[in-house]
Each structure stands twice: as C-alpha cells, then as structure tokens.
Structure 1
Amino acid sequence: MKDTDIKRLLYTHLLCIFSIILSVFIPSLFLENFSILETHLTWLCICSGFVTAVNLVLYLAVKPNTSSKRSSLSHKVTRFLKCCIYFLMSCFSFHVIFVLYGAPLIELALETFLFAVILSTFTTVPCLCLLGPNLKAWLRVFSRNGVSSIWENSLQMTTISSFLGAWLGALPIPLDWERPWQVWPISCTLGATFGYVAGLVISPLWIYWNRKQLTYKNN
C-alpha cells in the first residue's frame, strides 16, 4: 500500500465533503430564504444532486477499479441503466423500511422518500460507482475480510457511518424539546449527513494509521 494511494483517497473524500458544503451555500445565492431547516426538502434534492455528481466525476477521473477489458458502448449504456434501477430500488426499499419502523405512511410520504433518496446517495451511489451493479461484489465487500483495496475499505466505513448517523438522528424525535430540527425527517437526514462526512474523514485516517497491518487479496 502506497502513501500516494491514501493521499488520493483523502483528496477525493475532501471533494465529497466540499460538495455537501456547496449544497448549503450555493443555493442561498439564488433562492430566497433558503436554509437547511426552513427549505429542508429543497436542500435534500440539491445535496443529493451535488454528491451524486461529484461521485460520478471522481469515479471517472480517479478510476479506482480500472479494468483491463474494454467494454462496448452498449455495455456501458446497459451498465448505466442497471445502476439507475439499483438506485431507484434502493430508494424505494429504504422508504418501505422507514415506514415499517414507524415513519408516517401517507401524511409525510414525500419527506420520507427524500430521506430515502439522500441515504441512498450516501450509501448506494458510492457502491455503484466503485463496484457497479454487482450484488456479489457488494456482498463480498461488506462481508468480513472481503475488501480488496483501500477504496473498498473506505466504502465500508462511510456506508456504515451513514447508517449509524441516520439511526442516531432518529433518537431525539420523540423527545418533547419542540425544536424545529426534530420534525420528521430532519434530524435523521442531518444525522446521515454528519455520519457520511465523519466516515469520509475518519476512513483515510484510519487506513493510514493501520496501513502496516492492512493486507489485501490483490496486493
């Protein structure tokens, strides 16, 4: 494992964090009264778009999983369509899970679905960019000792931290503090965002700290 690989991972993560920061400040230049709390649904859409776009650009620029095989245009189109289907399936699956865990079924359906979209953006989109629409690769990466690169190791950590942040964000909702950020699903989306950012920061540092102990199958 080279230090340059870890630096490249760190720089890509910093750009992902920067995309979230941009999603907070850039819309305020064009939209009146824009804020994360007051116009939360708008921010969720913008943040999802920014993070997805940056992930795609970074994947095309960095190409962490470069394949020696050349794929045809039809194969690339099919792969892209599969990725879109996987993303939509992820959004609907998360939506159903949230409802099963107590989210309003009809009253706040749009809010719940956009929460599913932002969580899919933080978890499913990086998986699709790095691993593609390959469930076997997903199961391998998220199994014990299944990672084969620092990118997959980082993917593990950022995905888990996003889920953990979303779960922790749900804890204050039933409390009677009557804060505006306790409205469903603001605290959950903020928790997922902070968890995603924490994973982006912690994973390269953890990999660098443990670089001598980490071994990968393809090394």
Structure 2
Amino acid sequence: MGGGMILVLLLPLFVSPAAIVPVHAVTQLASNGSRLAFNLSATCWSLIPLYLLGSIVGVTVFSLLLVQLDTRLIPLFIACYLLLSLWSERVDRLMSRFENFFVVGALQSGLGLLVGAPGPLAVTLLYKKLADKEAVIATASLFMLIGNICKITVFVVIGFRFSEYASVLLSTVLGATLGSWLGTRLRAHIPAQLFFPLIKGLLTLMALWILFRSLYQYLN
C-alpha cells in the first residue's frame, strides 16, 4: 500500500522528468506481475473485460494530453495530485463516486500516464464488490498489470527509448520483486493503526519535497 506512490516520488532522483512515468510503469509491471503470480487462482476474471475496455479508452484519450505536456511539469503534476488525493476530502469524495469498472479502468490507466500512481481507485471498488481478501489482491494486481501494459505500449508508440534506462530498470525490477517477497512476510507484523499514518506522513513529506524542488528547477 503506497509503494507505487513512494516509487514515483523517488524516481526524479535517478531519471529525467520525461522518464519518470515509463520507468515507473515497467517497475510496477514487475511488482504487480509477481504479486499476481502468487495469487492467480483467486482472480475474479469476470470483472476484467469491462476494466480492460476502460483502460484502452483512458490511455487513448490521456495520451493526447501527454504528447503536449512540458515534461518539466510532470514532477509538479505528480506532487500536486498526490497531496490533493491524500489531504483533500473533496477530491477523495469525487474519486469514491466512480463505481463502474469501465470508468475506473479509464481513469486508473489514463491518469497513470500523467502521474504514474493515480491512487487506489480500483482497489477501493474491489473491496466493495468482493468479499474474499485474496480475490481483491489478485484482481487488483491484474488490473494494475493491464494499466502498466497499456502505459508501456503508449510510450513505445511515442518513441520513448527504454534501452537508455536499462541499468535503472534492471535495478528497479529486481528491487520491486524482492520488495513483494519481503513485504508479503512483513505486513502481518505491522499494525494497521501504525502503518497507514506513517505511509500518509511519508508520502506527504516526499510530495512536498518534490514540489518545491521541481518548482525551483522549473523557474531557474
């Protein structure tokens, strides 16, 4: 929980603004793919077609915005989005209104092109629709995997050169896989009443730091 958001806030330390989202997509492909592999039998396949269709529509629409966006603004956009999603009740209420898997797929995958980690829209809806925890984890992993594949496809089409970041991608993919393995063993030992406030505080501090750092670099 929060791993994708933490990653997207750390990547500006290692890659150019234009590479943040595509590198994030490949890393999360490894993360979600490995998590799905451990829970494949629990996947609720009947929910996939509507979400997949929404994802295709979402990335098609949002890709038009992506090619016109100044890449220097991407870290600013990410930081502002995360701060609003963490602290604005109005934004939180707005996100909670999307109860359709087509709409959630379009927003989750489409917004992911611009902000990398658009928040747990699909997970929130899955918790309302599915009673089994393993089914939620497996289906959410597949949803995210679909979004990652859609994003990577868009960046390949527009000419992003993933090969230039091969060493970074190797490190992040290995780290994501190791993190999934380690997190699975540690999460049962951390109480939720401690874990979630810590994650929210960490994300807030990192978002503020990226916001001010990016503003300084953009204005200078």
Higher share in helix: 2
Bigger CA radius of gyration: 1
Give the TM-score taking structure 1 as reference length: 0.29
Give the TM-score taking structure 2 as reference length: 0.29
